Structure 1
Amino acid sequence: MAVEFRLLGEVEAREDGQPLDIGAPRQRCVLAALLIDVNRLVPSDRLIERVWSEELPYRARNSLAGYLSRLRQVIGGRGAEITRQPGGYSLTADPMSIDLHAFRALTTQGRSATDVAERDELLGKALALWRGIPFASLDTPWLNDVRTALEAERFSVVLDRNDAALRVGRQNELLPLLTALAADHPLDERLAGQLMLAQFRCGRQADALETFRIVRERLVEELGADPGPALRGVHQQILDGDPGHQIAAPAPRIEVVTRQRAAVPRRITSFVGRDDDIAHATEALGMSPLVTLTGVGGVGKTRLALEVASRLENQFDDGAVFCELAPLDGGSAVGHAAAAALRLQQQQGLGIEDSVIEFLRTHRMLLLVDNCEHVLPAAARLVDQIVRNCPHVVVLATSREALGVGGERILPVPPLPAGEAAQLFAERAKAGRPDFDLEREPVGAVDEICRRLDGLPLAIELAAARMRAMSSIDVARRLDSLRLLSGGTRDAPRRQQSLAATIDWSYHLLTEAEQALFVRLSVFAGGFDLDAAHGVCGAGSDTDDDTLDLLTGLVDKSMVKMRAGADRTRYFVLETLRAYGRDRLRENGLLDQCVSRHAKYYTELAEAAAAGMHCADEGAWVMRMLPDYDNLRAAFEHAVADGDIDTALRLVTSLSELTHLRIGYEASDWAERAIGLVDADHPLYPAAVGFAARGAWNKGEFDRARSLACLADGRSPGRGNGRVAYPGDVLADLALYEGDADTALAHYDTEMHRARRDGDPIRLVWTLFYVAICHAALRHPENGRAAAEEAVEVSDTTENPTARSMARYALGLVLKKSEPEAALALFDEAAELAASVQNFWWHGIALMEAASTRAVHGEISTAAGALIDVIEHWDRVGDWSQQWLNLRYVARFLVRVGAGDEALALHHALARAARSSPLNAEQLEALAEQDSNTGADGLTGAEAVAIARTTLARFC
C-alpha cells in the first residue's frame, strides 16, 4: 500500500495505517513544503526560504540535502519519490494520497454537484479529512501564511456545506455547530443567516429574530454598517414563514432524573504520590477547558483524574461529575453514558448528545470523562461540542491517546518513580499481609520488582497481591518469566507489553476454577453483583457460595474490584483485564456461549423486574436494576447481533416500566429497532410498538409517535404490560394534547372496563387516572371524582408506590378547587410516593400542584418556599413546559403578596414565550399603572426564573 501523507493536522506519513518516522520539525517542514507543491519543481532557494526564512543555518544547502536524503530513505519505494532536478527538488506522488489535495478535490466535486444531498455528502467528506490545525507544531513565516490561508479555505467550505445541510433538512444536528461558529465569527453575515434559518426551522423563531437583532447591532457598532441584502433577505424570509419548510414544535428542555447529585466516586484505597502530577493537572485545568491525561493502560490515569477531581470539585458550583466510558462497546452510546452520568434524559426534538450540550450550557462543573480510547471518535466529538458550546464546563479526560480536539492540553501520565512505586507496593502488600514491613524486606527486592514492572501502578498492585503467598524474593524471581510472554504487537510500547505480560502472569497464578470464572466475568459491561456472576458464569454444579468463594479470591488477588453499596455489593473488572479475559474466551471458543448466557440471564432478570415494578417491591427493583443498565444494553445488542429476535423482544418489552422517566428514552429506540426485525404477528409486537411510540411521544416527536402506534393496527399488548407500552394510549394522549379530550376519554373509558374485566389492577389504576384527568380537561373535574377515588382504593390494594402516587395526584387534581386542604395532603403524599421509587416525573408534578395550592390558600412563607423548591426541581430536570406552568403559579402568588412589578415582569415573559398568563385584564391594568420595572417585557425564560426565585426568597 502506498504511503499516505497528512497535512491537515500534524504533519504525518503513514503506511498501512502505521506512522512513519519523518524526523524532527525542520525535516517535517521540508516534507510539508514539497507536499504542498506535489509533482512540481520547488527551487532550492525557495525551499530554503520556506524552511528557515531569514534565520539560515550555516551551510543551509547541505542541511537541506541531509533532510531530503533521510526523507528519501523513509518514503522512497512506497509510491512516492523525491528527485533532484536542475534548480531544485520535486516530490512525485498521487495527489489523492495527500489529505490537503484530497480535500480540495472533494471540495471541487461537492461544489459542482447538482444534487444537494450529494453536495452535502462530498463536502462533509472533505471536512472530515481535517484532524486539527494544519502543521500546528511547525512555525515558519511561510507555513504560518499557508496555515492562515488553509483555515480560511476550510471556513469557506464549512459555509458551503452548511447551506447544503440546511437544504436537505439537517438543521437539528447543524444548530449546535452553527451556534459555536457564530460565537467565533460574530460579524460574518452569511453564517448569521445560516444560524437564523436553523433556529427558525427548529421551532425557535424568537431566537432567530434575536440573532438578527444582535448581529445588526454588532455591525453598526463595530463596522458602522447595516446588514447586507443577503442577511436582510433571510430576516424577511423568516418573517414570511420560510415557505417550503415545516417548522418543528418547540420542545421542553432536558429531563433530568432527580437522584442524588452525580459526583466523583469515593476512593476506597489510599492515593500514593504524584504530587507534581496533581499540581500540573490542576494548573492546566485553570488555563484550558479541556485537559487529557494520556498514557499506557495501567499507568494510573483514572486514579490520578479522580484524585484531581475530588480536590477541585468544590471550586465548581455544580461540583464534579464522573462519566465512565469503559463499559461501552461502541461509540453510539457515548452520549447516553454522558447523560446517565449527569442524571438527565433526552430533550424533545434533540438527539442525546445535543441534549447533553443544552444542559451543560448553563452549568458550572468539572466533567471527568474516563477511558475514551476505545470509543475515541465519538468521545472526541462530544467533548469538542462541550468545549465549544458550554463556557463554564471544564473537561478532564483520560485516554491512551489524545482526543485531537481544538484547545486540548495533553498531560502524559508517567510511571511512578522508584520511591513512590515502592511505597505503593508496600501499602498494597500490607493490605493483604498486615505484617509486611518494607524496611525488613531483602535489600533491593521491592525496588527490583517495581523496576521490572516499569513503575506501572496496576502491575505493581497485581504483584503486591502475591505477597500473601510468597516472599518479595520469590515474586522478583517469578518476574523473570515475563520476558518470555507475548504482550501485544511488536511495535507496542515496552511498558504496554510488560503490563500485558504481568496480567498473563497473574492469571496463571490463579487456580483453574478462578481462571475459568475470571475470563467469563469479562462478558459483563460495567459492574455486576454476585447473583449475576453466578447466573452467567457459574458452572452448573456450583452454588452461589462456590461462586462467592472464587470471586473473593479474585478480589483478594486484585483481578476483580469490589464496590460496596447500601443495597448490594457490586464487582467490576478493570478494562485492561476485561480485554485480556475476552481474548482468552475467544481463544478457548467460549465467547459465544458466555455472551448467550449473559443475554439470557439479563432478559430473565428484566422480565422478573417488569413484574416486580407492579407490586409493593417497586423501589427494590429500581435499586436492583438501575446499576445494570449497561448490561441490559449489552444483552440487547448481543441478542440482535446473534439474530435472536425473540430474546431481544422479551428483553426490550420488559424495560418500559424501569426506563420510562427514570433512565431515558434509549430503550424505546431499541424497541423501534426490534419491531423492524420481526413479523407483525409476533405476540410481543404490540408491546414493542407501544414502547417505541411512547418513546417518540416523550421526545415530542408526535407525528412519528402516531405512525408507530398505528403499526399495532389496534392490537393491545394485553394483561401485565401496565402503564407504558400501549399503542392505543399513545393515540389517546395525542388526542388529549391536541385538545380532543372527548376522544381520549372514550378510549380510556373503554380501557378501564377492559382492565376491570381482565383483573389487572395496575392497568385499572392507569386508566382510572386518565379518566379523571380527561374530565378535568373538559372543565368538569367533579365528574372525574368517582374514577379518582376508585383509583386510590385499587392502588392501595396493590401497595405499588407509582400506582398510589398517580391515584392520589388524580384525586387531588379533581378536588383542588372544591377541597383545597384535602387536595394538598394528597399532592404531598403523591410526591413522597413517587420520590421513593425515583419516579422524577410524578414527583415533580405533584410538588408543583401542592405548591400552587399553597400559593392560593397557604401561609405566605411556606408557599414561597414550596414554589422555590418547584423552580429548583424543574430547573434541574430542564423541562421548560412545566417550568412555564410553574411561573404562572408564581405570578399569581406575587399578585397576592403585593409584588406587582415582578408579577408583571413574569406576565411579559410568559407572553413573549407564547404562554398564557394567569393575570386578568383588570389585574394587568392595575399593575401597569404602578409598574416601575422598565424593560421587563424583554425577559428571557432564564431571566424570568431568576426574578421569580429572587422575589420568592424575600417572602420565605
Structure 2
Amino acid sequence: MAVEFRVLGDVEVLVDGRRLDVGHARQRCVLVSLVVDVNRPVSSDQLIDRVWADEPPHKARNALAAYISRLRQLFSDADGVQIVRGPAGYALQADPRTVDVHLFRDMLARARAASAPAEAAGLFDAALALWRGEPFATIDTPWANEVRGSLEAERFSAVLDRNDAALGAGRHGEFLNELTTTLQAHPLDERVAGQLMLAQYRCGRQAAALDTYRAMRERLVEELGVDPSAALQAVQQQILDGDPARPVSQPAAAAAPAAEPVVARRATRLVGRDDDVRRVLSAFGDGPVVTLTGVGGVGKTRLALETAAREESNFVDGVWVCELAPLSDGSAIGRAVAAALRVQAGYGQDVDDAVIDHLRPLALLLVIDNCEHVLANAAALIDRITYECPGVRVLATSRESLGVEAERLVPVHPLSEDDAAVLFVDRARASRPDFDPDREPVGAVAEICRRLDGVPLAIELAAARMRAMSSGDVARRLDRLRLLSGGKRGAHPRQQSVTATIDWSYRLLSETEQQLFARLSVFAGGFDLDAVHGVCADAGTTDDDVLDMLMGLVDKSMVMVRTGPTGTRYDVLETLRAYGRERLQDNGTADAVASRHATYFVELAERASAGMRGRDEAAWVQRVLPKAGTTFVATDFDNLRTAFEFAMARHDIDLALRLATSLPEIHLRVGYDPMDWVERAIQAADRQHPLFPAAVGTVARGYQVLGEFAHARTIIALAEGREPAAGVSFLAYPADVLADVVMNDGDLSTSTAYFEDLFFRSGEGTDPLRRLLAAERISLGYQAMETNDAALPAAREAVRIADSVGNPTGRALARCALARALAVSRPDDALPIISDAHELASAVENTWLIAMAEMESATIHAARGDRRAAARGHHVTLEMFVIAGPSKVIPLQWDNLGRMARFLLQAGATVEAAALHGAAVAAGRRPPLNAAEVAQLDGVEGVVLTGTEIVDYARTALRRFM
C-alpha cells in the first residue's frame, strides 16, 4: 500500500489515495517531527520539547509513548513505513520521496542542476506545486513555528530561482504581474527588483524598468544607507545599453574587494563593565552566539563594542559590526549584514546565501547590534550562521532573547551607585574640564545617578548639562525625559535622548503591552502579580492573561523580575516609569488608574494590619516594611506612601484615615514617615469620623515612644475620651498611650492601676494583644516599684496570652517582661527566655524589641557576673536606640543608660556611674540608682553631661569592659 506524507499545507497522510485520520494537534506534531527528520532518530526529549515546549504534562513520556503507539497502528498496513526506536530515539523509516518536503528539496536540487532554463523552470514549477498552503498550519508550537519559517524561506528562494529560469526561457510576460507583487512584499530585495526590471524591459517597458531601479536605489539609501549592489547596477546597465539578449543568471557571489574589519574606537572610557566583559567572554565558552539583553540606554552596544575591541586580535579574520537600528523591514537584514561585511551577492543569488558562502571559511566575530525590532529575521540568519559557519562567533544586542538554539544570554544591568557616580564625573569633566565633584553640593551627583536608575545613557546626557549648570541645578531640575536630550551628533537619533530611546522600545510593544506598561507606571518600589491584576487588569482578564502580558514586557526588558523571601516581584526603572506616566496622561486614564492603585493598597494595608497581629506577622513584615541598605526594596511600603498621597491630594480623607490607622506596627518600626501621614490625616479629618480616635492614638503612641510627652498629651486630648472602634491595632488606644505617658513621668502607681483595671474589665473576649500589653505594663510597673512578687505573675500571664495568640511580637514582648522579672533573682532561668525573645523579635524585624531584648540580656549577664557580655549588650542597645539623633535621648535609651550606671557601679567604674546617674537626674528622669547605690558614690564627682555628650560618654565608658 503506497503512502504519501504531506506537510506543505495541512498535515495529511494518504494510503493508496485515501486520507487517514492522524489525530489531534499534539499527535500531528509528533508525526511532523518524525516526518521532517525522516530516517533520522529523534530523541524523546527532543520530541517532548517540540510538542510541549516549556509546559510538558506531568507524564510527558507516557503521553508521547501513547502517540507513537497510535501512529504505529495507523501505518501497520503500509508498505515500507514503520516507526522504530533505537538508542538515539524514535525514527520514521520511509522513502524520503514519499514526504512532500523532501520531494520538494530533491526537485529543487535537480532544477538547479539543469542546464537548460526551460527544463529548470519546469522543475521549479513542479516543486512549488507541491505547496498546498502554510506548512502544518494548525500546529502552533515554538519548534513548529521555527521550522515553518525556515520552509517559507526555502520556498521564497525557490520562487526567485524559478523566476531566473523562466526569464531565461523567455517567459517574461507570464511573470510580470507576479514580480510586481513580490517586490511590493519585499521592497528591499535587490534580486526581485532585478528580475522585475528585466521582465519590464523585455516587455517593451524600458522607462518602467529604469523607474524600478531608481525607486529601489532610493529605498536602499534611505533604509540601509547603501547603494545598489554591483549586480543590480549591471542589470541597469544592460537596459541602458539595450542588450536584452544578455543572460539573466549571473555568476554567484561576485568576490568582495578586500576590506579590513573595523571596530569603532570610542573616545571615552568604559566605566564599571569589566566584570560584564568577562561574563561575555565566559559565555562564548558555552556557545557561538551571545546576546546582550537589557533596557534601552543601559549600555548594551557599548559593552558589545568594547568586548569586540578587546578580542579583535583573537580572530584571524577580525571583528565586524552590523547596525540594524536603521532597518524598518526585517527582510533587509541579509542585505545589511552583507553591506557590513562588504559582501556583494551576484545577480541570481540570494543575499543570505551570499553571506553564508562568504562567512563559511572564515574565523571572525560578528557584532549584530539592535536586533529587537527585526527579531525573527535576525534570529533566522544568525541560526544559519551558527550551523553553517563554524569559525564565526556572533555577539548580538537586543531588548529580548533571539531564541536561537545556540544562544547564551548575558543580561546587562544598570550601573551600581558608585560606578554611576564615576561615569557622571568622567563625562562631566569631558564637558567641563574644571568640574570638581568635591566642590559640588553634597549628595547632588549621587541623587542624579539614583533618580536615573544607573542607566548610562541617561547619566551621560545629564553630565553633558554640566557645561552650563551645576550638579545641584541638574538634580533640582531633573526632568528625566525632557532635560535629557542632546547626545553626541554621531549617535543614532534614538540614542541622543532618553525619550527617544524609551519611545523606540515602547513602539515595539503590542497594543495590549503598551497599555499594561503605561498602567504599571502607577506603582512605586515594585509590585507583585496580584497587584498587577488588581490595579491594571481590565474586567474579565484572568491571572494567566495578565501574566502573559507581563512576561512579554519582561522579555522586552521593559520590566525587571526580582525574587526574594516574599516570592516573585517586578519593578520598572524610574526613567521608564516617568515615560509610562506621560502615556497615562496622554490617554486620559492617569486618575482612574491611580484611584484603583490607592484603593488596592489601602485594602492591602488593612489586611496587613490584621495579619501583623496574628501568626503570619513575618510574612506581612517582609511584604510592607521598607528595607534599608539594599539595592532592591522588595516591599510595598512605597506603594502605600503613593496611595496615601493620592488620597490626600483628592481630599479623600476616609481613604487616607483607613490607610494611616492600618499601620501603627509599621509606624513604630519605621518612625517619622507614617507618623507624618497620620498627623496630616488628623488635621484634615472631621473629629467625628469613626477612625479619628485610632488616628489620634497612633500619632500619640509615636510621640510617647520618642519621649515627646507634652505633645503626646496634646494629641490625646483631641480624642475627647473616645475609644477606637473594635478591630484597630492594640497600639492605637489614646487612653493606653496616656497611661504610658503617666508611667514615663514617674507616676507608677496610677499607671499600673489603670492597666490592672483595663486587664480585669476587658475579659477574655476582647483584643488579646491589648490584654497582653496590659499584663506586660502591670509587670513593668510593679517591678519599677520593686514589688517583684506581683511583677512575676503578671509577666507569666502575658506569656500565656501571647502564646495562645501566636503573634511573634506579642510573644517577644511578653518574654522580655518575664526575663526582666527574673533577671536579678534567677538570671540563669532568665537567659534562655530573653534569647527566645530576641529570636522572635528578629524574625519580624521589630528593632524596638530586639533592642529591648539586648538591654534585658545585658542586665542578666551583669547579674551572672559576665561583664564582657553585659558591656556588649548595653553597647548594642545604645546604638539601636540612637534613632532621633545623638542629641535626643528617648525614654528607652534612658532606661538603658540607667542600667549601665548600675553595671558600671558594680564593675567599680564609680566616676562613670556617677556621671550617667547625674545626667538622668538632671534630665528629670527617675533616678536610676537607689539610695544604697547612691551612697556608694559619696565623694565621687561625676562629669556633668548634656546633649550630645551623653551617648558618646557612655560608649567610651563601656569600651574598657568589651
Q: Could you state the TM-score of these two structures normalised by the residue count of structure 1?
A: 0.49
Q: State the structure with bigger RCO (CA 8 A, min sep 6), 1 or 2.
A: 1
Q: Return the index of the structure with the highest Cα Rg.
A: 2
Q: Could you state the TM-score of these two structures normalised by the residue count of structure 2?
A: 0.49
